[in-house]
Amino acid sequence: MYPELFRIGDFSISTFGVMLAAAFLVGTWITARRMAEEGLDPEKATVILIYVMAGGIAGSKLYFAADVSLREGISFTSLLFARDGITWYGGLVLATVVGAIGCRRNGIPVKTFADCTAVAGAVGQAIGRVGCFLVGDDYGAPTDLPWGVAFPRGAPPTLEPVHPTQLYEIAWLLCVAALLWRRRRRSPFLFGEYIALNGLGRMVIEIWRVNPKVALDLTEPQWIGGGLVVLGVTGWLYYWSRTERAVS
């Protein structure tokens, strides 16, 4: 794999960092296009997504540091300020909150903007998973299947072929993005569909991951994924019922 692209002095430029930047740029372009379709000013896409990015990075680091610190007894501060280690679910929560603040400050309806980010979120997350694959992070359990991949420079390294669960998630997210794009004019709550499908995919992909079970034979990501399914479906039903009442 290729965890490092090059160095500037003592500073390493990682493939994951480059993929994270690419995810933001592509996500901004998709969101701006969606905002134009919804009659909103696409110029504000970059402004609000800076809020989202800042909240996402902060939330992902806070969740990672708190989770690992509680489970393994490692210093919270050292984990928080380490270059590696982020957790997407923590990023989703704080990105949503900070993004909503950005919408309020810029006069953009929160729900409409959230719907505009649904496709971008799926595509951006898929690009981020490319970074995970290149640095050898978040892989799955050992396998003898022909597409098993070893990560000798991974985090942690493994010479044994494992499930490339990053690629499984990329495939799922790209399918989700294509579906959401087709439904963008018909869905009562596209963002709800995104988080529900995201959670469903993670619950299934966890079957091939190695995260420890925490309750009822489910891992922590499976519990969070299930919560996203419930939240997404509940939100979708709420906005669907409002649409039906308005029509009738």
Rounded distance between C-alpha atoms, residue 204 and residue 222, angstroms: 8
Domain annotation covers residue 240: no
Residue 135 lies in domain:
4-180
Tell me what pLDDT residue 82 has.
Answer: 66
Q: Is residue 90 part of a domain?
A: yes
Q: Is residue 222 part of a domain?
A: no
Is 121 within the bounds of a domain? yes
Residue type, 150: A
pLDDT computed for residue 69 by the predictor: 76
- pLDDT tens sequence across 146-188: 999 999 988 889 999 999 999 999 999 999 999 999 999 999 9
Residue 212 lies in a domain: no
167 domain residue, yes or no: yes
State how far the Cα of 143 lies from the Cα of 8, in Å rounded to an integer. Answer: 37
pLDDT of residue 90: 73
CA-based nearest residue to 61, from 38, 77, 41: 77
CB count within 10 Å of CB 36 equals 14
pLDDT by residue (tens digit) across 123-136? 999 999 998 899 88
Residue 126 near residue 173 (C-beta atoms within 8 A): yes
Q: What is the mean pLDDT of each run of 10 residues along the chain (248 residues)?
A: 67 78 91 93 89 83 75 72 66 84 91 95 94 90 95 89 96 98 95 96 94 89 94 96 73
| DSSP-assigned letters across all residues of 112-147 | HHHHHHHHHHHHHHHHHHHHHHHHT-S---B--STT
Name the domain count of the chain.
1
The CA distance from 97 to 52, in Å, is 8
First to last CA, the chain: 57
Q: What integer pLDDT is reported at residue 177 of this predicted model? A: 98
Nearest by Cα to 88 from 14, 216, 194: 194
Q: How far apart are CA 108 and CA 150, in angstroms?
A: 46
Q: Hey, is 213 helix, strand or coil?
A: strand
> Does 242 map to a domain?
no
pLDDT for position 26: 94
In which residue are the tokens 């992070």 written? 137
What is the predicted pLDDT for the residue at 83?
58
Q: What is the DSSP string of 85-122?
A: ---HHHHHHHHHHHHHHHHHHTT--HHHHHHHHHHHHH
Is 215 contained in some domain? Answer: no
Please tell me the pTM assigned to this model: 0.87
